[in-house]
Amino acid sequence: MEGMTAWIERDELCLSNPFKSSPERLSKLCGRSQTLFLKNIAELQLFSYVQITLDNSLVFPRCLAWLVYFVGKHDAMDGELSCRVFQLISLMDAQLPQSSNEKVELAVLCFLGQFYKTYVGDQLQPNSEVYARVSEVLGITDDNHALETFMTKVVTNLKYWGRCEPVISRTLQFLNDLSVGYLFLLKKLVKIEAVTFMLQNHTSKHFPFLGISDNSSLSDLRCRTVFYSTLLHLLMVDLGEDEDEFENFMLPLRVSFESVAQLFSDSVVQEEAKRMLIGLARDLRGIAFALNTKTSYTMLFDWIYPTYISVLQRLMAELIRNRSQRFNFDASSPNGILLFREASKIICMYSNQILSPGTLSKDQVYPFKLKGISICYSALKSALCGNYVSFGVFKLYRDNHFDSVLQAFVKMLLSVSHSDLLQYRKLSQSYYPLLECLTQDHMSFITSLEPHILTCILTSISERLTADCTENVWSCCSEVKYINMCTEICGVLVLFDQCKEISQDGQRLLHFMQQNPEVLQQMMSILMNTIIFEDCRNQWSVSRPLPGLILLNEKYFSELRATLITSQPDSKWEVLDQCFRNLMEGVEQNLLVKNRDRFTQNMSVFRRDMAEALRNEVASDPGALDMMS
């Protein structure tokens, strides 16, 4: 054992991740042949060192963890080593909670995950030497025994490691891997006594990590989402349409709801109430995430509404997300409208709170403001794009919830700088998809905005396009997203520009365009620069807004054209001029689909001819040809 300690101390990489170390490197470290090294490990009575490993001040825990990680690297020794680790698990668990070691527990969980993937299920080989040895020594003869062993370990960890987030997190990840396996294994899994125990007793009394403690951080509560998502996967295996079984499962959450409601009824909200609400929200998010069918989601919706919807005015994002078309309410059901109404109330209320926090330091801006705004944007996008609400109903019946939530979006947008939209990834990933949804399905709202708000929106699109172009990260997804927004907005502007009689909204937009031409001109420069000089991966999408931009900025387009041509040698002027004439050949002064298609066809030829004409110049000085410079 002392020799092993020396080997590990000389190479910390082997301890932290032995799978990244080659057998040759391991063999060199121990100073003997690989076969002899493995033989010596197999002969070690690992479990005889358990008492020593429980002393964290010694190096033995590191040695033991390293040995456990090593199992699974060599088939010839796997059977014997696996038996030793299973015996080690039994001995260590028998001494909980008095003695424990985090490093060894994490190594054991890694081993169990690898053993499950390799030797349990459809990959099980009846003639496997590993499985034969485990069966002979430990009596693990089939899938049922293996799964029982796994689940016993999972329940033990969740009971006794409640205040060790790394072990709980890794244990729940292993449990989640089991819950999303093959169906025939799941049917065996849900019949195991340990699984039945978890489904019937998911409370802090049995699993301390579900409790609320001032000593634990809020980030530790994230484990609860994974836990409940996994439990619901297991529950749904045999649940079907059994509402009584679902009600029984939700009983602990019913108690939590009542406790939170009582605490929030006090005039002063205590820290305990906040933590309880966050934990409950984590639980429900996991449950909602796991329910992917109409039947199962309807059970949850009926359970929540209207009894607990008032308590959930701090949780909604996952509940209103229509994944796998699980929202399929009956034609006579008002549930879709009711769900959107409640979501809009929550977003509006939260936006009012988040926009009045006072002065924030730089390191407080994201956690206290921008993170909440990004969640609101994500929730609103889910509600608008879920296809379970006819938004015309709100106007027809003079219900202001739809208008109010859109105004909340505007208020939050005006409170965020464009640099923040580009700098904070999660904020950007929630804002731009929401904006795409608005420009695609709710252009009447976009056209009703005041000029300064529309300027803010167009500038955010333009700066995102500029950042993508500058960073050379044009991808199909980002192109289509931002270009579609340009196309929709430009199409409406051109329509108003060509109408003899237009609405007040149209007049306001035209005035905006006349007063702020630089925003649209910048977009045109970016797109033309991409077409001519960049590796444009989605040429069709990039070409779609250009006819509208050109019609709105014909003079500026002529200036761009002249600038590019005159920057080249005189001998190329005629060729480049002909390329631009060919680009606009047959293109009419409208944005009909047929006309857009004609422009797109011309664009393909234009891009090829321009590349040929400018090839030598681009090779010698690419920056000289940048139309954005």
The answer to whether the Cα torsion of 230, 231, 232, 233 is positive or negative is: positive
Q: Which residue has the higher pLDDT, 214 or 297?
A: 297
What residues contact 348, with CB distance under 8 A and at least 6 apart? Answer: 404, 405, 408
Predicted TM-score (pTM) above 0.85: no
Which of these ranges, 124-138, 225-239, 580-594, has the smallest mean pLDDT? 124-138
For residues 613-623, one letter each, b for 16 or more C-beta atoms within 10 angstroms of the residue's C-beta and e for the rest, the string is bbeeebeeeee
Chain segment 12-49, per-residue pLDDT in tens: 444 444 444 444 444 444 433 344 444 444 444 444 44
Chain segment 370-383, per-residue pLDDT in tens: 988 998 898 899 88
Q: Nearest Cα to 354, choosing from 415, 271, 268?
A: 415
Q: Nearest Cα to 522, choosing from 474, 484, 467, 593?
A: 467
Instruction: Note the pLDDT of residue 71.
Output: 63
Which structure tokens are listed for 518?
Answer: 């630089």
Q: Has residue 260 got a pLDDT over 70?
A: yes
167 touches 105 (CB < 8 A) = yes
For residues 30-47, one letter each, b for 16 or more C-beta atoms within 10 angstroms of the residue's C-beta and e for the rest, the string is beeeeeebbeebbebebb
Q: Nearest Cα to 345, choosing from 374, 309, 321?
A: 309
- 3-state secondary structure (DSSP) of residue 539: helix
Question: Whole-angstrom Cα distance, residue 548 to residue 484?
Answer: 12
For a pLDDT cut of 70, what percent of the chain falls above it? 72
Question: Whole-angstrom Cα distance, residue 207 to residue 438?
Answer: 44
Q: What mean pLDDT, rounded, does the chain reach?
A: 77
Dihedral, 98, 104, 105, 111 alpha carbons, nearest 10: -150
Instruction: Using the structure block, give the residue that is written with the tokens 């406790």.
Output: 259
Which structure tokens are listed for 536?
Answer: 């444009």
Q: Which residue has the higher pLDDT, 501 or 447?
A: 447
For residue 530, give the amino acid letter.
Answer: T
What residues contact 403, with CB distance under 8 A and at least 6 apart? Answer: 394
Q: Nearest Cα to 289, choosing from 261, 263, 319, 310?
A: 319
Instruction: Note the pLDDT of residue 483.
Output: 55
Question: 72 pLDDT band (50/70/90 cuts)?
Answer: low
Which one of 37-51, 193-207, 273-287, 424-438 scores highest in mean pLDDT?
Answer: 193-207
Q: Has residue 492 got a pLDDT over 70?
A: no
